[in-house]
Copies of this chain bind each other. A is one copy, B any other.
Amino acid sequence: MNIDRVFHALGDPTRRAMIEKISEGPVSVSKLAKPLDITLAAVVQHLQILQQSGLVHTKKVGRIRTCRIENTGLTVAERWISDRRSLWEKRLDRLGHLLTEPDEK
């Protein structure tokens, strides 16, 4: 899964609002669209971006398309953030050791 796609998808407040709603439980596209102040066509476009970035999965049964959370995208974003944090903290640790070494001798 492309990290650029995932963060681009998460960078938009409407798409994050959609993820927030979907994470409360599976929801139909029309119910998802209702509180959002945009056209249904715009909702569908946002959903496509969310699907392509592995954040949301949709499935049509009969006439109703239902949206669910897909973990792939969330995992990609989480991993990127925690990698940055751990690299930085390791670096701070090494710096800490360098600074305390003279006292330990």
Binding site for B on A (CB under 8 A): 3-4, 7-8, 10-13, 16, 19-20, 22-25, 69, 71, 74, 77-78, 80-85, 87-88, 91
Contacts and interface: CB of A to CB of B under 8 A. Distances in A.
- Copies per complex of this chain: 2
Contacts of A85: 23, 69, 71, 74, 78
Nearest to A82: B78
Contact of A81 (B4, B8, B77, B83): B77
A93 B93 CA distance: 39
A22 B87 CA distance: 10
Nearest 6 A/B pairs, CB to CB: A11-B11, A69-B88, A23-B84, A23-B87, A23-B88, A25-B91
